[in-house]
A and B are shown apart, each in its own frame.
Chain A
Amino acid sequence: MVLRLHYNLEKMSVGLVVGIIVAASIGGIVEIAPLFTIDGTADVPADMRPQTPLELAGREIYMREGCYACHSQMIRTLADEIDRYGPYSVTSESVFDHPMLWGSKRTGPDLARLGEKYSDDWHVLHLLNPRDVVPDSIMPAYPWLMSPLDTRDIGPEMAVLATLGVPYTDEQIANAATDAAAQARPDSSIADGFADRWGDRPALRAFDGDADEVTEMDALVAYLQSLGTLTDVAWQNPAEEEGE
């Protein structure tokens, strides 16, 4: 009888279309419905800081080069992952990530807590040619990262992120390009303004070893060194994060 019903439905194009829409909507609603209440499920941790303009630019490069295709940024709820990387990742850690870069494939290691694990020098050498420091690495080399950083898009991007709830002030957005350069030029005259607007938590260093020019390498290393350092929420109360 069910088959007979379907047999007859197939003969009515409008009825079939309605049926397809109903069936497909169930899957969509199950995925989308939780997002309507996301504000209630993913809190912004008290110690959370948003990424700086230079780190955001690095994040764009991370996406441009497809790093997420081989590196995840999520520590899974598995005992051996906790053993290696520390507490499993919680939603609140990614609350300012648009889009999130959790990834689902690990050809290389997870990067969720990479920040400040290795030195800047190591990151630069490793990105220029991974084989220089890890002889059996299969990661591609990214020699073009030493080219100058284009900072023009950072301010507009921050303005968009601000509409999505990332707490960037108008002053921070207006000075985005300057502050992106300042973070990689610690002894320059613009570094003071960076400290005023961003506080002392973001690293203020010549990430690529050269304090005179701001390169894509500066941005990407600044981003990598910020991973896992934006909040300590995963160490605080991991049990409370889960849908209470």
Chain B
Amino acid sequence: MSSGDTSMTTDVTDPRELEGADPHTGERGDDPLLEHGQEIDPVTGHITTGHDWNGIKELNTPFPKIALWALIISVVYSVITWVLLPAWPLGSTYTKGLLGVDQTTDADAEHARLVDLRAHWREGFASDDFAALADDADVMALALPEMRRLYADNCAACHGAEGQGRTGHGVGGAQGAGFPALNDDEWLWYSEPEDIADVIRVGINSDHPDTYFAEMPAFGRDGMLERSDIDLLVPWVAGLSAGTSDPDSEAAGIFADTCAACHGDGGTGGLESGAPSLVDAEWIYGGSEQAIRATIWNGRSGHMPAWEDRLSDEERNMLALYVAGLSQAGAQ
């Protein structure tokens, strides 16, 4: 370990020039911090580690003060929080902390406060007097953001963000699944908010014991209609919405015998049976001849879940009014 490199000639870096250094060796023997074998780097004035790796030496700089204080403060902070907040596990329980903080009770209390804030307008929706609710502009204005949120979270996935529904395509199975539009004036079941609320409550073809039930049989697959009859029926049904179907044709007779019980005379629908009108321009499963053939051959059975367990009376009533409103807005 050489000290005082004599080859260095610059005055400022010469350890012999440093305050208190031996003018010959450069060592600062009187430095109380300097232990035996330690040396001071002439450039920085720091102690080195004392090792020499092929002429390279490592500074032994002190631990940065800011990091040291950060460490001390965080240790102190954690001790304080151990005392104040829930912290250490103790078998099947834990240290509760002096502040008694519990996220679950906090959340329940905050939720109760939310419910309380809305109660003055929301409680009105527990009543079935939809006409009075719809006429109360103040309550409806307060409820509208909530209605939009409920619709977006629960209904929009199938019926579309604007209630536009979705026309199925393809042949059979879920690939052809269609979801009825809610923003038109055509209803499979009922158009009044109190009835819509009930449909939302129990669903259609759902698991609910009181569910609405509607199924179009597989007339072709199950042999209820001859293939030749279906061949006649398909173009006739496809022409209904354009008004090009002949009401006196043989197909009309097949329709009257087989289809009219659910779809109404001439396919006008409106029987509140879950069977759609066939004379309007809306098609749940597609209006092409191919899609209609698939529908008649394989049958159709949509599924709307029951919302009785998931949504409260107030929420379902809000949605019923909102959905009825979509229809009125769309019809205008």
Contact = CB atoms under 8 A, between A and B. Distances in A.
Given A84-B153, A243-B92, A120 B166 contact: no
Given A37-B91, A37-B92, A133-B166, A117 B177 contact: no
B177 A122 contact: yes
B158 A122 contact: yes
Interface string A111-149: 001001111111011101000111100000000000000
Contacts of A82: 107-108, 111
A34 interface: yes
Nearest to B166: A133
Interface of A: 3, 30, 33-34, 37, 40-41, 76-84, 86, 88, 113, 116-122, 124-126, 128, 132-135, 203, 208-210, 238-239, 242-243
Chain B at the A interface: mostly helix, strand, loop or mixed? Answer: mixed
Interface stretch (B168-176, B180-188, B265-273, B322-330): B168-176
Interface string B270-286: 00000000000000000
Contacts of A81: 107
Nearest to B89: A34
B104 interface: yes
Interface of B: 62-63, 88-89, 91-94, 102-108, 110-111, 113-114, 153-154, 156-158, 161, 166, 172-175, 177, 179, 207, 302-305, 310
B158 A79 contact: no
A77 B305 contact: no
A242 B104 contact: yes
A34 B179 CA distance: 49
Contacts of A77: 103-104, 106-107
CB-CB nearest 8 A-B residue pairs: A209-B173, A121-B177, A79-B110, A124-B174, A209-B174, A77-B107, A119-B303, A40-B92
Contacts of A120: 174, 303
Nearest to B156: A134
Contact of A124 (B88, B157, B177): B177
Given A41-B92, A133-B158, 7 more contacts: A34-B89, A77-B103, A79-B113, A116-B305, A119-B305, A134-B156, A209-B177
28 contacts: A3-B62, A3-B63, A30-B88, A30-B89, A34-B89, A37-B92, A40-B92, A77-B104, A78-B107, A79-B110, A79-B111, A82-B111, A88-B104, A88-B107, A117-B154, A119-B303, A119-B304, A121-B174, A121-B177, A124-B173, A124-B174, A125-B177, A132-B166, A203-B207, A210-B173, A239-B108, A242-B102, A243-B94
B173 to A, nearest CB: 3
A78 B109 CA distance: 10
Contacts of A88: 104, 107
Contacts of A37: 91-92
B149 to A, nearest CB: 8
Contacts of A242: 102, 104
Contact of A122 (B104, B157, B172, B207): B157
A124 B113 CA distance: 39
Contacts of B161: 135
A118 B107 contact: no
A128 B175 CA distance: 9
Contacts of B179: 122, 133
A125 B175 CA distance: 7
Given A121-B303, A124-B177, A116 B207 contact: yes
Contacts of B62: 3
Nearest to A241: B104
A133 B155 CA distance: 11
Nearest to A11: B49
B102 to A, nearest CB: 7
A188 B195 CA distance: 37
